[in-house]
Amino acid sequence: MFKRRPLQSKSEIWMRNIVMSILVIYMVIFLIVPVVMVLMGSLHQWNPLNGTYKWIGIENYTRMFSYPTFWQSMFNTVIFCIFVVFFRVILGLGIAYAVNSKMTRFKTFFRTVFYMPTVTPLVAVAYVWKIMYNPQFGLIDKIFGLDINWLYDSAFALPALMLMTVWKDFGYAVILFLSGLLSLPSDCYESASIDGANAWQTFRHITLPLLKPTMLFVVVTSIISYLQAYVPVLVMTKGGPGTSTYLSSYLVFDQAFKQYNFGYASAISLFILVLTAIFTVISFKAAGSKEN
Partner 1 sequence: MKQRVLKITLFVILCLAGAATVLPFLWMLLSSFKTNAEIEALEQSFLPRHPTLENYINLQNNFDFLRYFANSILIALVVTILVIYTSCICGYVLGKYKFKGKNLIFGVVMMTMMVPWSVTIIPRYTMFVKAGLLDSYLSLILPFMFSGFGIFMMKQNMENVPNELLEAARLDGANEFQIFHKLVFPLCKNGISAIAIFQFLWVWEDYLWPYLMMDSEQKQLLAVGLTQFNGRYATDYGGLFAATTISILPVIIVYVIFQKRFIAGVAAGAVKG
Which 172-211 residues touch partner 1, going by CB under 8 A? Answer: 172, 175-176, 178-180, 183
Among 77, 214, 237, 245, binds partner 1 (CB under 8 A): 214
Q: Is 276 in the site for partner 1 (CB under 8 A)?
A: yes
Cα–Cα distance list, 163 to 83, 88, 147 (Å): 9, 10, 17
Q: Is 227 in the site for partner 1 (CB under 8 A)?
A: yes
Among 43, 56, 184, 231, binds partner 1 (CB under 8 A): 231
Q: CB-wise, 62 or 104, nearer to partner 1? A: 104
Contact call for residues 158 and 244 (beta carbons, < 8 A): yes
Smallest distance from the beta carbon of 12 to partner 1, in angstroms?
5
- Residue of 92, 100, 137, 150 lying closest to 118 (CA atoms): 92
Q: Is 152 in the site for partner 1 (CB under 8 A)?
A: no
The vertex-267 CA angle with 263 and 271, nearest 5°, equals 165
Q: CB-wise, 35 or 146, nearer to partner 1? A: 35
Q: CB-wise, 72 or 73, nearer to partner 1? A: 73
Which residues, 6+ apart, have CB-to-CB distance to 97 below 8 Å? 177, 181, 203, 207
Residues 31-90 that bind partner 1 (CB under 8 A): 31-35, 37-38, 41, 48
Smallest distance from the beta carbon of 37 to partner 1, in angstroms?
4
Residues 126-145 that bind partner 1 (CB under 8 A): 127-129, 131-132, 136-137, 139, 142
Q: What is the DSSP letter of 228?
A: T
Q: For the stretch 243-270, what's the b/e string if a residue is b when 16 or more beta carbons lie within 10 angstroms of its beta carbon? A: bbbbbbbbbbbbbbeeeebbbbbbbbbb
Smallest distance from the beta carbon of 131 to partner 1, in angstroms?
6
Q: CB-wise, 39 or 58, nearer to partner 1? A: 39
- Residue of 245, 248, 254 lying closest to 268 (CA atoms): 248
